[in-house]
Chains A and B, each alone.
Chain A
Amino acid sequence: MIGRWLSLLAAQAIIRIVAGAVTLAAALAVTVAAAPVSLVAAAALAIAWLRGWEPRRLFTAAAWCAPMVAVWLVGTARTAPTWQHVAAAPYRAWTGFWHLAATGAVPHAAATIAPVAVPLGLVAGGLAWSYRIRSLAAGAGGLSPAAAVAFDQRQWQRQARAARARIAAPGSVPLTMRNDLIGAGAVIRSVRHRGGLVAAIGYQRLRSHQVVIGTTGTGKTTLLLRLWAGFMATGLRRHAAGLGAPPLLVVLDCKGGSDARRLADRVRRVLRQAGARSTAIWPDEASLSLWSLPPRQLTSTLVDLIEHGTGSAAYYADVMEALVGLAVEAPCGPPVSAADLLARLEPGWLSMAYAAAGTAADHAMIRSASRQLADVALRFRTLFRRLGSGLDGPGGFGDADAWYCILEGTDQIAVAEGQARALVDLLASFAVRGPARREILLAVDEFSAVSRRLPIWQLYERARSLGLAVQVSAQSWQGLGTSPDERLRIAASAEGGIWLLRTPEPEPVTALAGTIRVVQTSRYLRRFPIWSHRGSSRVEEVPVADPNLIRILDVGQTAYIYRGGVTYLQVKRLVAAPAAVGGVPASPAEPPAGLRAAAAPAEVSPRVDAAPPAGVSPRVDAASPAGVSPRVDAGAGRSGADPTAVPLPDISLLLDAAFGPEHSP
């Protein structure tokens, strides 16, 4: 009995081995018989593995062979007597291949079989590659469960390497593409997003709110520059085509310092290449006028710029609002400068201003609050001194294609907060009442510096109707707001997507991308290190955006989270035109025309050549300003001032000869 049972076991083992050998031999025979297809499939598989391609790419390549197959079939049909001959063409090509290969005409043989072998090989390679990926993703492939992890890591490295190689090619990622797409970089991997070679987002996404999170040195600035330039280039193109209003980019750099100046210069050069004719840098080179706000809005903004306490201090806040309202909404019109407002904050002025047109309530308020006027004036005097003259005009957002506003949020947080508040109010007012409609993108970089007093989510909620999109960037999730609720509001309202660069705590953001169902398989361990291919599978929910992958992102790599999907991409760096050589440094003095006539370098001294050649008029060069430029009076910088202080040569002889003598009017 035992002998029979053992014989049965041995027979079963022999049958299994023989069946396996027969199957292997059959597969080998088919592989050899279909050698051209096998070769193409193997090559496709190897390339897809090396480059980290998705199987879809091999199927797409096979589909692109259709014209070749069609031409080949048409050529065959023209010489074939019947349709049966056309149907048998692949078989004939196959037999022809072997005959030619046997005679040593390998190139001819390859050309004969190529129309059949290439598409079939690509499809076979794609199927094999898909099987491999799916089996490993399910945890069923490989010698051990760890094989799936190692495979995924290697694939990521290969995909990242391929993406880097792709963006290195000139012109591989255009800034603007058809259908108003903005090229951001090369796709590394995508989950629930449509794959492809180039990662591009629609212009309308930039017209919606976006969030960018990434620590220093991860390529955040490169990404932002790309997005801003893409917005500008596409917006200008759309405007030229009559499809939309001209774009307006307003960047609030809330970090400040010398880095901000360097970045501003880079932004200007990049935007210039993108088509922007003018980039104003506030407050170094251009100014804005807070006083262009409508009176009621001006009152509200001025009061909000000053921090108030709570409790009994609220009383003083009410008094201040009443007095500022009286000063701003006086019958003679709103103030035109900080000095004008300060001059109004005294009892004599208010009484005189309201003497003729004021109501009894106004007079009563002036009388009752007159004791507080000096204190209110003192607070505003302090405020204006801290804010500087950048908001004292002239100028408006409509004067340039782009504004780069530098707020000293690192060393003067309170000042930066006030400036940010005022700038946002000015921009909102411009969006509502501006002379011409603009498609506005407000980008707030290093938002954490001003998040305490800039309720950006309030702007979020009303911005869409104003034609204003907000892009907030911060170094971490915590930098998005002071409270978890505020952060969640900002991130959840980012209809244009979230850009996530390397950050140590990505979970709150990746959670917004949701989860995806995947098959997880547990495998039976026979004896280490041998795992059986038997086990059980179950469906599990895993995050669409893998937080661990976010943590290991390299410089320039980013995850774009949008509508429950994620695309990992390598951002293509924009190379700006070189800075002008020998010109005046970017920081002190380049006011946009018409913005203001008030900014002049304090230590600019005309340098006149000591001994100009005879007969040649002396040339004057502007020496580089030595320091940061404090403002001077508008009149001092007026065009009327003689900039050269050198008498001009007499040209009356020439003019008399050409036009006759000068007439007296």
Chain B
Amino acid sequence: MIRADGASALAAPGGRHPGRTGRHADGLIFTGEMYGVQLDQLTTVLDVSQRSVGAIVAKWRTAGLAEAARLGPGPRWVWLTRAGLADCGLQYSPGVPGLARLAHLRAVTGIRLALAGTPQYAAAGAYWRSERRLRAKIGGRLGLREHVPDGEVHWPDSAPVPWAGECWAIEAELTPKTVARTVMIMQELLARTGDYGCPAAQARVLGRPPRHARVIYLCSRAALPTVARARAALGSAGARIEIRGLPDGAELPSAGTTPP
């Protein structure tokens, strides 16, 4: 995932640390953006062997930039400390990935990695805007009434793809909600016109182009029927919703998996 020139198709631009290799800096930023990453996924991000990734994480821990621990089934999780987030210029609240969200976090990371692995993504220079970044933009002053997608993919206007200029909302659906709730979320995502963190009055302005040209649902087998029914309930607007299964390796490994 890290290209030969050291530039990453995964990490946010402008997050390099002058005193650290670009690859490691991108890995740190990726980890910070995604709340936390499991070591096997970090291996893909850094494009190194499993053995090397352990050494890299150990260096991060020694420098006080990251913490690692076994939080659930599968490999260890890595997340950034306050110092690590500050080092990357990410103004997020530090914290250990919540146990209840581990499966979801892994799924979203898997989706991002799968999408970033496509040639179109790299050629277009597409940009992943993580849920953590979106929530940081919204801030915590008011209770959240709006649904925040699990990520956004921005395709630059100049990208050599037919969908250049579009912004996609990404939704990872592991457990089925009710159809009504899913329809509401779909409607909200499709109708949104303003950026996250904008005044509520600008969030949905009729007549303005929608923020999300499409909504991409990546579903587990259990959630697939509900999402499909919700899309059908939307009628013609459902054409802007794509449904796919979760990519391989995006689901949390079973408890018996041998950790690296």
Contacts and interface: CB of A to CB of B under 8 A. Distances in A.
B206 A604 contact: yes
A281 B201 contact: yes
B57 interface: no
A665 interface: yes
Interface stretch (B75-83, B127-135, B139-147): B139-147
Contacts of A479: none
A648 B239 contact: yes
Interface stretch (A52-60, A107-115, A529-537, A614-622): A614-622
Interface in A586-633: 589-595, 597, 599-601, 604, 606, 615-617, 619-623, 625
B68 interface: no
Contact of A642 (B115, B118, B141, B239): B239
Interface residues of A, number: 66
A621 B193 CA distance: 12
Interface in A420-447: 436
B18 interface: no
Nearest to A638: B187
Interface in B29-66: none
B224 A658 contact: no
A658 B111 CA distance: 8
B77 to A, nearest CB: 24
B201 A651 contact: no
A24 B22 CA distance: 85
B260 interface: no
Among B121, B200, B240, the one with the most A-chain Cβ atoms within 10 Å of its Cβ is: B200
Contacts of A653: 120
A665 B224 contact: yes
B201 A280 contact: yes
A642 B246 CA distance: 27
Contacts of B98: none
B204 interface: yes
A655 B242 contact: yes
Interface stretch (B3-11, B85-93, B159-167, B251-259): B159-167
B216 A655 contact: yes
Interface residues of B, number: 59
Given A591-B205, A660-B247, A638 B191 contact: yes
A589 B205 contact: yes
B21 interface: no
B60 to A, nearest CB: 29
Contacts of B229: 665
A246 B187 CA distance: 29
B200 A660 contact: no
Contact of A622 (B160, B207, B213): B207
Contacts of B210: 643-644
B207 A641 contact: no
Contacts of B228: 664-665
A346 to B, nearest CB: 33
A182 B179 CA distance: 49
B69 interface: no
A272 interface: yes
B117 A642 contact: no
Nearest to B164: A616
Interface string B200-228: 11111111111001101010000011001
A259 interface: no
Nearest to B163: A649
A649 B162 contact: yes
A268 B202 CA distance: 12
Contacts of B213: 617, 648
A663 B224 contact: yes
A272 B139 CA distance: 14
B187 to A, nearest CB: 4
Nearest to B139: A277
Given A642-B237, A663-B224, A665-B228, A616 B157 contact: yes
Contact of B209 (A278, A594, A644): A644
B145 A594 contact: yes
Nearest to A275: B141
A584 interface: yes
Interface in A307-363: none
B207 A600 contact: yes
A462 to B, nearest CB: 28
A659 B245 contact: yes
A601 B117 CA distance: 43
A593 B165 contact: no
Nearest to B208: A622
A18 interface: no
Nearest to B165: A617
Among B114, B199, B209, the one with the most A-chain Cβ atoms within 10 Å of its Cβ is: B199
Contacts of A169: none
B236 A640 contact: yes
Among B117, B139, B205, B234, the one with the most A-chain Cβ atoms within 10 Å of its Cβ is: B205
Given A589-B207, A620-B209, A658 B114 contact: yes
Contacts of A600: 206-207
A591 B236 contact: no
Given A592-B200, A593-B146, 20 more contacts: A240-B141, A246-B142, A275-B141, A277-B139, A277-B141, A277-B200, A584-B208, A589-B205, A590-B201, A590-B205, A616-B162, A617-B164, A617-B166, A621-B209, A622-B209, A639-B187, A639-B191, A648-B214, A653-B120, A660-B244
Give the 5 A-B residue pairs with the shortest CB-CB distance, closest first: A639-B191, A278-B200, A649-B162, A640-B237, A604-B207
Interface of B: 111, 114-115, 117-121, 139, 141-143, 145-146, 157, 160-166, 187-188, 190-192, 199-210, 213-214, 216, 218, 224-225, 228-229, 234-237, 239-240, 242-247
